[in-house]
Amino acid sequence: MHLLFIFLSKSIQEAFKQFGYLGIFVWFITVDQIAPVPEEITLIIIGYFVSHGLLNPVLAGLFAVAAFLTVDSVYFYLTKTGNSFIKKFTKKTESHFVLSYKKKLKGHLFKTLLILCFIPRMRLLAPVYVALLKIPYKRFILFDALSLGIFTAVYISLGIIFHSSLAPLISKAKTTGHIIFISAMVVMTFLTIFFIRKLKSRKA
Protein backbone atom coordinates (compact mmCIF):
# COMPACT_ATOMS: atom_id res chain seq x y z
CA MET A 1 0.00 0.00 0.00
CA HIS A 2 2.95 2.30 0.67
CA LEU A 3 3.89 2.17 -3.03
CA LEU A 4 0.39 3.32 -3.98
CA PHE A 5 0.60 6.38 -1.73
CA ILE A 6 4.04 7.30 -3.16
CA PHE A 7 2.74 6.82 -6.68
CA LEU A 8 -0.04 9.33 -6.09
CA SER A 9 2.10 11.92 -4.35
CA LYS A 10 2.50 15.42 -5.73
CA SER A 11 6.17 14.90 -6.61
CA ILE A 12 5.34 11.84 -8.73
CA GLN A 13 2.58 13.74 -10.50
CA GLU A 14 5.07 16.49 -11.33
CA ALA A 15 7.55 13.90 -12.61
CA PHE A 16 4.84 12.46 -14.88
CA LYS A 17 4.49 15.87 -16.54
CA GLN A 18 8.05 15.53 -17.82
CA PHE A 19 8.82 11.80 -17.93
CA GLY A 20 5.37 10.20 -17.65
CA TYR A 21 5.34 8.07 -20.78
CA LEU A 22 8.78 6.58 -20.29
CA GLY A 23 7.91 6.17 -16.61
CA ILE A 24 4.82 4.14 -17.53
CA PHE A 25 6.89 1.81 -19.70
CA VAL A 26 9.61 1.31 -17.07
CA TRP A 27 7.01 0.81 -14.30
CA PHE A 28 5.23 -2.01 -16.11
CA ILE A 29 8.39 -3.90 -17.14
CA THR A 30 10.06 -3.62 -13.72
CA VAL A 31 8.16 -2.65 -10.56
CA ASP A 32 4.84 -4.02 -11.79
CA GLN A 33 6.33 -7.51 -12.08
CA ILE A 34 7.06 -7.69 -8.35
CA ALA A 35 4.78 -5.08 -6.75
CA PRO A 36 1.54 -6.17 -5.00
CA VAL A 37 -0.44 -3.46 -6.84
CA PRO A 38 -2.30 -5.11 -9.77
CA GLU A 39 -1.95 -3.78 -13.33
CA GLU A 40 -5.63 -2.86 -13.33
CA ILE A 41 -5.15 -0.45 -10.43
CA THR A 42 -2.11 1.16 -12.05
CA LEU A 43 -4.04 1.71 -15.28
CA ILE A 44 -6.90 3.31 -13.34
CA ILE A 45 -4.36 5.60 -11.68
CA ILE A 46 -3.00 6.51 -15.13
CA GLY A 47 -6.58 7.36 -16.14
CA TYR A 48 -6.79 9.58 -13.06
CA PHE A 49 -3.62 11.40 -14.18
CA VAL A 50 -5.09 11.73 -17.69
CA SER A 51 -8.17 13.41 -16.24
CA HIS A 52 -5.86 15.94 -14.55
CA GLY A 53 -4.21 16.75 -17.88
CA LEU A 54 -0.86 15.25 -16.83
CA LEU A 55 -0.90 12.59 -19.57
CA ASN A 56 -2.30 12.14 -23.05
CA PRO A 57 -4.65 9.10 -22.98
CA VAL A 58 -3.53 7.74 -26.37
CA LEU A 59 0.21 8.04 -25.65
CA ALA A 60 -0.22 6.70 -22.11
CA GLY A 61 -2.14 3.71 -23.48
CA LEU A 62 0.43 3.05 -26.22
CA PHE A 63 3.34 3.07 -23.77
CA ALA A 64 1.45 0.76 -21.41
CA VAL A 65 0.64 -1.68 -24.22
CA ALA A 66 4.25 -1.52 -25.44
CA ALA A 67 5.41 -2.48 -21.94
CA PHE A 68 2.92 -5.35 -21.71
CA LEU A 69 4.00 -6.67 -25.12
CA THR A 70 7.67 -6.45 -24.08
CA VAL A 71 7.01 -8.51 -20.95
CA ASP A 72 4.91 -11.03 -22.89
CA SER A 73 7.64 -11.38 -25.53
CA VAL A 74 10.23 -12.07 -22.81
CA TYR A 75 8.01 -14.77 -21.26
CA PHE A 76 7.38 -16.25 -24.73
CA TYR A 77 11.09 -16.54 -25.57
CA LEU A 78 12.07 -17.75 -22.09
CA THR A 79 9.56 -20.56 -22.54
CA LYS A 80 10.95 -21.36 -25.98
CA THR A 81 14.47 -21.66 -24.54
CA GLY A 82 13.32 -24.01 -21.76
CA ASN A 83 14.06 -21.58 -18.92
CA SER A 84 14.04 -23.35 -15.53
CA PHE A 85 12.08 -20.54 -13.83
CA ILE A 86 9.31 -20.82 -16.42
CA LYS A 87 9.19 -24.61 -15.94
CA LYS A 88 8.73 -24.20 -12.18
CA PHE A 89 6.16 -21.44 -12.77
CA THR A 90 4.03 -23.63 -15.07
CA LYS A 91 4.17 -26.61 -12.70
CA LYS A 92 2.80 -24.49 -9.86
CA THR A 93 -0.09 -23.20 -11.97
CA GLU A 94 -1.17 -26.41 -13.71
CA SER A 95 -4.72 -26.73 -12.44
CA HIS A 96 -7.95 -27.77 -14.18
CA PHE A 97 -8.93 -24.09 -14.43
CA VAL A 98 -5.66 -23.06 -16.09
CA LEU A 99 -5.42 -26.11 -18.36
CA SER A 100 -8.93 -25.42 -19.69
CA TYR A 101 -7.75 -22.01 -20.91
CA LYS A 102 -4.58 -23.59 -22.30
CA LYS A 103 -6.72 -25.75 -24.60
CA LYS A 104 -8.85 -22.78 -25.64
CA LEU A 105 -5.77 -20.80 -26.69
CA LYS A 106 -5.14 -23.14 -29.61
CA GLY A 107 -8.65 -22.98 -31.05
CA HIS A 108 -9.74 -19.46 -30.05
CA LEU A 109 -6.55 -17.44 -29.59
CA PHE A 110 -7.87 -13.87 -29.66
CA LYS A 111 -11.00 -14.58 -27.59
CA THR A 112 -9.01 -16.47 -24.94
CA LEU A 113 -6.26 -13.83 -24.76
CA LEU A 114 -8.91 -11.16 -24.26
CA ILE A 115 -10.60 -13.12 -21.45
CA LEU A 116 -7.26 -13.78 -19.71
CA CYS A 117 -6.50 -10.04 -19.77
CA PHE A 118 -9.47 -9.42 -17.49
CA ILE A 119 -8.61 -12.17 -14.98
CA PRO A 120 -6.09 -10.67 -12.50
CA ARG A 121 -2.54 -12.02 -12.98
CA MET A 122 -3.75 -14.77 -15.35
CA ARG A 123 -2.60 -12.71 -18.32
CA LEU A 124 1.03 -13.59 -17.59
CA LEU A 125 0.33 -17.26 -18.29
CA ALA A 126 -0.81 -16.59 -21.87
CA PRO A 127 2.63 -16.13 -23.53
CA VAL A 128 3.97 -19.17 -21.69
CA TYR A 129 1.23 -21.53 -22.86
CA VAL A 130 1.16 -20.01 -26.35
CA ALA A 131 4.87 -20.84 -26.67
CA LEU A 132 4.31 -24.37 -25.35
CA LEU A 133 1.51 -24.87 -27.88
CA LYS A 134 3.96 -23.81 -30.64
CA ILE A 135 1.69 -21.03 -31.87
CA PRO A 136 3.74 -18.70 -34.15
CA TYR A 137 5.06 -15.60 -32.39
CA LYS A 138 3.78 -13.22 -35.09
CA ARG A 139 0.23 -14.57 -34.74
CA PHE A 140 0.41 -14.41 -30.95
CA ILE A 141 1.81 -10.87 -30.79
CA LEU A 142 -0.84 -9.55 -33.20
CA PHE A 143 -3.78 -10.86 -31.16
CA ASP A 144 -2.01 -10.05 -27.91
CA ALA A 145 -1.64 -6.41 -29.00
CA LEU A 146 -5.34 -6.22 -29.90
CA SER A 147 -6.52 -7.75 -26.60
CA LEU A 148 -4.11 -5.63 -24.53
CA GLY A 149 -5.27 -2.52 -26.38
CA ILE A 150 -8.87 -3.21 -25.32
CA PHE A 151 -7.81 -4.10 -21.75
CA THR A 152 -5.73 -0.91 -21.39
CA ALA A 153 -8.40 1.34 -22.89
CA VAL A 154 -11.07 -0.04 -20.53
CA TYR A 155 -9.09 0.55 -17.34
CA ILE A 156 -7.70 3.95 -18.30
CA SER A 157 -11.27 4.98 -19.17
CA LEU A 158 -12.41 3.76 -15.75
CA GLY A 159 -9.80 6.03 -14.16
CA ILE A 160 -11.11 8.99 -16.17
CA ILE A 161 -14.75 8.17 -15.33
CA PHE A 162 -13.87 7.65 -11.67
CA HIS A 163 -12.32 11.11 -11.53
CA SER A 164 -15.33 12.65 -13.26
CA SER A 165 -17.61 11.19 -10.61
CA LEU A 166 -15.49 12.91 -7.95
CA ALA A 167 -15.44 16.27 -9.76
CA PRO A 168 -17.98 18.00 -7.43
CA LEU A 169 -16.02 16.95 -4.34
CA ILE A 170 -12.65 17.83 -5.85
CA SER A 171 -13.83 21.29 -6.91
CA LYS A 172 -14.75 22.02 -3.27
CA ALA A 173 -11.70 20.46 -1.70
CA LYS A 174 -8.92 19.15 -3.95
CA THR A 175 -7.00 17.57 -1.08
CA THR A 176 -10.11 15.75 0.10
CA GLY A 177 -10.65 14.50 -3.44
CA HIS A 178 -7.18 12.98 -3.56
CA ILE A 179 -7.72 11.33 -0.18
CA ILE A 180 -10.99 9.80 -1.40
CA PHE A 181 -9.29 8.57 -4.58
CA ILE A 182 -6.35 7.06 -2.67
CA SER A 183 -8.72 5.36 -0.20
CA ALA A 184 -10.77 3.92 -3.06
CA MET A 185 -7.62 2.60 -4.76
CA VAL A 186 -6.47 0.96 -1.52
CA VAL A 187 -9.85 -0.76 -1.14
CA MET A 188 -9.80 -1.88 -4.79
CA THR A 189 -6.26 -3.23 -4.40
CA PHE A 190 -7.26 -5.25 -1.32
CA LEU A 191 -10.32 -6.61 -3.14
CA THR A 192 -8.25 -7.58 -6.18
CA ILE A 193 -5.63 -9.33 -4.03
CA PHE A 194 -8.43 -11.12 -2.15
CA PHE A 195 -9.94 -12.23 -5.48
CA ILE A 196 -6.57 -13.57 -6.69
CA ARG A 197 -6.02 -15.54 -3.46
CA LYS A 198 -9.54 -16.95 -3.59
CA LEU A 199 -8.98 -17.98 -7.21
CA LYS A 200 -5.72 -19.69 -6.30
CA SER A 201 -7.37 -21.59 -3.43
CA ARG A 202 -9.99 -22.91 -5.86
CA LYS A 203 -7.26 -24.05 -8.25
CA ALA A 204 -5.60 -25.97 -5.45
- pLDDT at position 143: 95
Contact predicate 188/44, CB 8 Å: yes
Contact predicate 196/121, CB 8 Å: yes
- Segment 125-184, tens digit of pLDDT: 889 888 888 899 999 999 999 999 999 999 999 888 876 665 554 455 444 445 555 555
- pLDDT at position 175: 47
Where do runs of H (alpha helix) occur along 30-136?
31-34, 39-51, 57-80, 84-93, 96-107, 109-117, 125-132
The model's confidence at residue 27, banded by pLDDT at 50, 70 and 90, is confident
The model's confidence at residue 99, banded by pLDDT at 50, 70 and 90, is low
Q: Report the SS3 class of residue 53.
A: coil
Per the structure, the count of domains in the chain is 1
4 or 84, greater pLDDT: 84
- Segment 35-50, tens digit of pLDDT: 666 788 888 888 888 8
106 or 6, greater pLDDT: 106
Q: Residue 198: is its pLDDT beyond 70?
A: no
- pLDDT at position 121: 72
This prediction's pTM: 0.72
- Segment 64-89, tens digit of pLDDT: 999 999 999 999 998 888 877 777 76
Find the domain containing 34 and state its range: 2-203
Cα–Cα distance between 132 and 80 in angstroms, integer?
A: 7
